[in-house]
């Protein structure tokens, strides 16, 4: 089996400079894993740390969870669309300026 496409959603843990409640982050991670797995047959998570520069030049550090799945050509579009839908949902419900997804090593910031 060859699964050449990798779709990743980066689940945030901070909103407006404050940590989100762990239960909310856990639900977002599990919803993402469940959604991707329903299409691709499975999903994987990994903890990471993201950094960016704030408008005032301060380096901001944020623990994140990467959730990804691999798929074949048949399901790549559906998997990418599902990740974009979740990113848009999390942007609104978790009060984010942006949420990132990675599709085949290309980062999309929504």
CATH code of the domain containing 51: 3.30.70.120
Average per-residue pLDDT in the chain? 96
What's the total number of domains in the chain? 1
What's the pLDDT at 55?
80
Could you report the per-residue pLDDT of 67-85, keeping only the tens digit for each? 999 999 999 999 999 999 9
The rounded distance, in Å, linking the Cα atoms of 69 and 63 is 20
The rounded distance, in Å, linking the Cα atoms of 30 and 59 is 29
The rounded distance, in Å, linking the Cα atoms of 79 and 39 is 6
Q: Against a cut of 0.75, is the pTM above it?
A: yes
Domain region containing 82: 5-109
């Amino acid at each position: 089996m060859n699964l050449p496409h990798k779709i990743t959603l980066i689940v945030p843990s901070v909103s407006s400079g404050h940590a989100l409640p762990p239960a909310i982050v856990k639900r977002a991670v599990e919803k993402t894993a469940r959604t991707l797995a329903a299409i691709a047959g499975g999903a994987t998570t990994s903890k990471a740390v993201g950094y960016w520069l704030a408008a005032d030049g301060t380096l901001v550090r944020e623990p994140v969870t990467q959730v990804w799945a691999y798929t074949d050509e048949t399901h790549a579009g559906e998997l990418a669309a599902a990740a974009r839908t979740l990113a848009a949902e999390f942007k609104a419900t978790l009060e984010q300026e942006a949420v990132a997804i990675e599709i085949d090593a290309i980062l999309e910031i929504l």
